[in-house]
C-alpha cells in the first residue's frame, strides 16, 4: 500500500504547515500532553471528510465544485456556494500564503543565517515553488511531496525522541480526554488548523488525476488513512516535544528548538529548522494549487494543470504571498474577510459532502455506510460550531 500512496500525502502536507506547527507548539507548552486527544479527534475527522471527498473524486471523475454545482438545482444556491468557495479559497489562500512562505523562510534563516541574503529568502522560496509548479506534472509533484513529508516527519520525530517523553503520559493524553482551564480555544484552534476546507477540493481534484475506476476505491481509502495519519503523527511529535522540553515562554517551533540547544546542541535547531522549512514549502505549494483547482471548477476550465488560466491563478496566489512577506504587509481586512468566508465554508461543505456522498445518482453503490453517516453528522455539528466561533471572533465577540 505504501507504493500506492499519492494524493493523500499532499493533503497531509497541506494541513501540517507553519500555522499547525505553531498551534501544536503552544498546546504542548501550555497544557503538556493533555490535549493530544484533540489532535487525535482532528485527524479522525479529517480522515472521514477527506475519505468522502476522495470517493466523490474517483466516482464522479470531476472536481468537488463541479459535482455540487450540478446537484444544486436552484440557481441562487449554486451562485451562493460558488461565491463562498471562491472567496474562502482564492482570496483566503492568497492572504494566508505569506504565512506559509514565512515558515519556510524562518527555517532557511536558521540553516543559513547570512545577513546579506536573508532579505531575499521570501523571493528565493517563491521562485523555487514557481519553477516546481510550472514545470512539474502531477506525478513529479507527488514524488516531491512524499520526499518533503518524509523529511519533515523524520525531523520532528527526532526532536520528540530527543526530549525522552513519558509514553504513559502520551497515551493518557491521547485516550483520556480532559479539558484544562483555558484549553477550550486551543482545542478549537487545533481542530481548525487540521480540518482545512481547501483540502477537500484539493483532494477530490488530485484523486481524479491519479485514479479513474471505482475498483481503485480501496487504494484511495488506504492512501487517505495512511497519509493523514502520518500527518497527524508529525503534529503530535511537535506537541510532545513542546510538552517534554524543559523550557518556559515558547511561542513557536524555533523558540522550542533554541531552548533545546543547551541540552542537545545545534542539532536540535537544525532538525527543527529542516522540518519547518519542509512544512512551509509544502503548504506554500498546496495553497496556490488548491486555489487553482477551485477556480478551474468554478469557471468550468476543465481542471487541466497545464491550462494557462490554471497557472495564472496559482501564480497570483504565490505572488501575493511573496509580496506581502517581502514588504512586511499584513492585509488585515482581506484576512478578516477570508476568515468569515472560511467560517461559512467548512460547515456548508461538510453538509454538501454528506448530502452528495449519499446520492445514488452520483455515487451509485459506493455511498456512505451507517457508521460513516453517524460520523459525518457528528463532524457536521462540530464544523458548524467551529464556523460560528470563527465568524464571532472576527466580529470581536471573542
DSSP 210-276: H---GGGHHHHHHHHHHHHHHHHHHHHHHHHHHHHS--S---SHHHHHHHHHHHH-HHHHHHHHHHH
pLDDT: which is higher, 32 or 212: 32
Residue found under cell 471572533: 393
Averaged pLDDT, 173-186: 90
Residues in CB range of 254: below 8 A, 6 or more apart: 106, 110, 269, 272, 273, 276
The answer, yes or no, to whether residue 396 has pLDDT greater than 60, is yes
pLDDT: which is higher, 326 or 249: 326
| pLDDT tens per residue, range 255-274 | 766 666 666 677 778 888 88
The CB density around residue 264, as the number of other CB atoms within 10 Å, is 16
**pLDDT for the residue numbered 2:** 58
Cβ atoms of 357 and 363 within 8 Å: the answer is: yes
**pLDDT for the residue numbered 17:** 86
- What cell does 32 get? 503538556
The answer, yes or no, to whether residue 254 has pLDDT greater than 80, is no
pLDDT: which is higher, 244 or 350: 350
**pLDDT for the residue numbered 259:** 66
Helices first, then strands: H and E counts in the chain? 18, 0
Averaged pLDDT, 216-220: 90
**pLDDT for the residue numbered 22:** 84
Confidence label for 132 from pLDDT (cuts 50, 70 and 90)? very high
Averaged pLDDT, 375-379: 92
Top-ranked range on mean pLDDT: pick from 10-14, 115-119, 171-175, 216-220: 171-175
pLDDT: which is higher, 281 or 386: 281
Q: Taking the model in full, what pTM does it have?
A: 0.89
Closest CA relative to residue 284, chosen from 155, 132, 143: 132
**Residues above pLDDT 90, as percent of the chain:** 37
**pLDDT for the residue numbered 111:** 86
| pLDDT tens per residue, range 69-103 | 888 889 999 999 989 998 889 998 998 899 899 88
Averaged pLDDT, 185-208: 88
pLDDT mean across residues, the chain = 87
Cβ burial of 81 (10 Å; 0-12, 13-18, 19+) is buried
Amino acid at each position: 500500500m505504501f507504493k500506492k500512496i499519492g494524493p493523500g500525502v499532499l493533503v497531509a502536507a497541506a494541513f501540517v504547515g507553519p500555522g499547525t506547527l505553531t498551534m501544536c507548539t503552544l498546546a504542548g507548552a501550555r497544557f503538556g500532553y493533555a490535549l493530544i486527544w484533540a489532535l487525535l479527534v482532528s485527524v479522525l475527522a479529517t480522515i472521514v471528510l477527506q475519505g468522502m471527498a476522495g470517493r466523490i473524486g474517483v466516482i464522479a471523475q470531476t472536481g468537488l465544485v463541479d459535482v455540487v454545482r450540478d446537484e444544486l438545482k436552484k440557481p441562487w444556491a449554486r451562485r451562493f456556494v460558488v461565491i463562498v468557495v471562491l472567496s474562502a479559497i482564492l482570496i483566503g489562500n492568497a492572504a494566508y500564503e505569506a504565512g506559509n512562505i514565512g515558515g519556510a523562510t524562518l527555517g532557511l534563516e536558521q540553516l543559513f543565517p547570512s545577513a546579506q541574503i536573508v532579505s531575499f529568502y521570501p523571493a528565493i522560496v517563491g521562485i523555487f515553488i514557481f519553477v516546481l509548479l510550472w514545470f512539474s506534472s502531477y506525478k513529479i509533484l507527488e514524488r516531491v511531496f512524499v520526499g518533503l513529508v518524509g523529511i519533515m516527519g523524520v525531523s520532528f520525530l527526532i526532536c520528540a525522541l530527543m526530549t525522552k517523553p513519558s509514553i504513559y503520559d502520551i497515551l493518557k493524553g491521547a485516550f483520556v480526554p480532559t479539558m484544562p482551564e483555558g484549553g477550550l480555544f486551543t482545542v478549537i484552534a487545533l481542530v481548525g488548523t487540521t480540518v482545512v476546507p481547501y483540502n477537500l477540493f484539493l483532494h477530490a481534484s488530485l484523486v481524479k488525476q491519479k485514479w479513474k475506476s471505482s475498483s481503485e476505491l480501496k487504494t484511495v481509502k488506504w492512501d487517505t488513512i495512511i497519509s493523514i495519519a502520518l500527518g497527524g503523527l508529525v503534529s503530535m511529535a511537535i506537541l510532545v516535544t513542546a510538552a517534554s522540553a524543559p523550557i518556559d515562554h515558547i511561542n513557536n517551533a524555533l523558540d522550542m528548538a533554541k531552548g533545546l540547544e543547551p541540552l542537545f546542541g545545534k542539532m536540535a535547531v537544525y532538525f527543527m529548522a529542516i522540518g519547518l522549512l519542509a512544512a512551509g514549502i509544502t503548504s506554500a505549494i498546496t495553497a496556490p494549487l488548491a486555489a487553482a483547482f477551485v477556480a478551474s471548477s468554478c469557471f468550468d476550465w476543465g481542471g487541466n494543470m497545464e491550462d494557462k488560466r490554471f497557472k495564472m491563478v496559482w501564480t497570483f496566489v504565490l505572488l501575493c504571498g511573496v509580496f506581502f512577506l517581502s514588504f512586511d504587509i499584513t492585509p488585515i481586512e482581506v484576512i478578516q474577510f477570508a476568515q468569515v468566508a472560511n467560517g461559512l465554508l467548512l460547515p456548508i461543505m461538510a453538509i454538501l459532502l454528506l448530502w452528495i456522498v449519499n446520492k445514488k445518482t452520483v455515487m451509485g453503490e459506493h455511498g456512505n455506510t451507517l457508521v460513516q453517516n453517524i460520523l459525518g453528522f457528528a463532524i457536521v455539528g462540530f464544523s458548524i460550531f467551529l464556523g460560528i466561533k470563527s465568524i464571532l471572533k472576527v466580529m470581536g465577540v471573542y
